[in-house]
Amino acid sequence: MNKIVSHAIAIVFGGLIVVCGCVWFKYKPSLPALFTVPSKELVGEKTKKLDCVPILVYRDRVEAKLGLPDTVQKDPGKHVVASSKVPPSDFPNTMTAVYDSGSGGVDMFLRQDPLPWLGFTRRGALGVAYGIKDNTDGFVTRVYGRLDLVQIKRLHAGLLGDVDNTGDWYGGAFAEYRW
C-alpha cells in the first residue's frame, strides 16, 4: 500500500510540475528587446554615408509588438526596417542587416559562428524523473540537477546530482558530447 501511495504522489507531483510549466511558458511576457553592440567584425571599420532612394520602414506600432525600449518607441526618428526570429541553438550566432539601395529594403542574414575552443558557462537544469530502478521492486521518483561549467567545442563538462524516494543519492561530475 505504501508503494501505491508514493507512486500516486509522484504522478500527481509530476503532473503539477508539467501544468505549472505549461502555464508559465504560455502566459509569461516576452523579455524586452535589448540593444546589442556591433559584431567584432565591424569594430574599427569606417562607415560611409549613402545618398539613396527612400528606405522601406514598418509602421510605428510594430515597435511595441517587438518589445523595443521606450526610447525607440517615443522617438519619431527611429524606425523598424527588419526583424527576424533566431532559431534556438547552442551555437553563437551573428545576425546581419543588409540594405538594398536599389529597392530600399533590408534583408537579414544569420550566420552560425564556430563554437569556442574554451568557454565557461553557468547553464543549469533541475528536474523530476519517474521510472524503474534496477535494484528495487518498482518505480522510483528522482529529483536531479546539473550545472554546466566548461565547454571545449562540443564537449561540455560540469556537476550533477540526484536523489530518489528510496533514499539513494548520487553526486559527481560529467563530461558529454552534444550535437
pLDDT at residue 31 tops 60: no
Q: Which three cell numbers stand for residue 38?
A: 556591433
What average pLDDT score do residues 33-48 get?
71
pLDDT surpasses 70 at 126: yes
**Burial of residue 162, with CB atoms counted within 10 A of its CB: 0-12 exposed, 13-18 middle, 19 or more buried:** middle
Name the nearest CA neighbour of 13 among 168, 125, 138, 130.
130
CB 122 within 8 A of CB 148: yes
pLDDT for 146 equals: 92
pLDDT at 1 over 60: no
pLDDT tens figures, 67-124: 878 877 888 888 888 888 777 777 777 777 777 767 776 777 888 888 888 888 888 8
pLDDT band at 136, cuts 50/70/90? low
The confidence score (pLDDT) of residue 159 equals 92
Per-residue burial over 53-91, b = 16 or more CB atoms within 10 Å of its CB, e = otherwise: eeeeeeeeeebeeeebeeebeeeeeeebeebeeeeeeee
- Comparing 104 with 44, which gets the higher pLDDT? 44
For 109, other C-beta atoms within 10 Å of its C-beta total 10
Local structure of 3: helix, strand or coil: helix
The architecture that CATH gives domain 2-26+118-177 is 2-Layer Sandwich (3.30)
User: 19-28, 56-65, 142-151, 167-176: lowest mean pLDDT where?
Assistant: 19-28
Q: Where are the domains of the chain?
A: 2-26+118-177, 31-113
